Structure 1
């Protein structure tokens, strides 16, 4: 199966808002499309996401969105980025949809978490499984060694994706999909050997409050 890129998963049903649109219109669209965020554009340039919390601070429904201090201005992916990165960004920011922006910073569309999860479920060697995102120095990367630690906990890596860490160019980010949803012992083993676990997602085995928050953020779209 070819790699799924963000541009392959664009959701045509969720429209962007403009800075000239009103807070009232944004509130109606959030309700109509059953999402907690929507992208806001300025002449096709991506400005950020408007959220329900943003709108709660404005009593006048005619307030234009250009007057709101929007967040998530840096929460976007490029069209040619792998859908693993879409899921990572959603987990990191606890958002339901991820804007796709080209090199001119022009808006191309959004990928919803539902679409990303559906794409993930279509990958080979089925099963929901679990996802772990690791960061490490590039010189410390060895998929063979990481696989050994995973297999010591009676699990296997189904697929893996490596990307440059966008904060520190000397580090890499490794996203692995496992054939198990029980991640606690695996993450503990990886951390014991010096790997930094930056995010994890499992369909059923929520092991702590942080993972519960990530899990809730990912599945909120599906539960409306």
Structure 2
């Protein structure tokens, strides 16, 4: 029988470590602290789902207040201690919904990341990434190039020859003054058709997460 219990981030971290799981930053206490600095958001609570006394999933829920209603979101959560089949996932989601309904009847819905879309509804809004590219970066530059197709190697080498830029970690300067980097984002947004968040959002995020979790690289 599945049960849902309130827990602590320390217990989640200990369980994840015991299962050799790397927690997403969005499931950490540091992220919850950052979310608490954003108007209309607050930590609702870290939870653990147990089968008997064995944890099967854990998650941090952030409350969002918008357009006159409240909902809970878990980015990159739940985190599973086992790879769930569709039946287990439906049971866990149902248990979470029942728990939240009992604890806080004013919550309208949960927004979770699930393996299966069965029983779920499309999200109200989302900001998709334009491209997702997965690259094996082990073995150094030549090893990376050797795993590419011939055209890919040619294009990369051409770009390296024609572009004199070098990439540097500029987290320190960015934490002192982010305005120069923000100007680049504005210029890029005008060219590529997107609008960056307000400058203060980036400053708050860098400060709240700290350099061990949030770094700024510039070329």
Q: Provide TM-score, normalisation by structure 2.
A: 0.27
- TM-score, normalised via structure 1 length: 0.27
- Which has the larger Rg? 2
**Larger RCO (CA within 8 A; separation ≥ 6):** 1
The answer to which structure has the higher strand fraction is: 1
User: More helix per residue: 1 or 2?
Assistant: 2
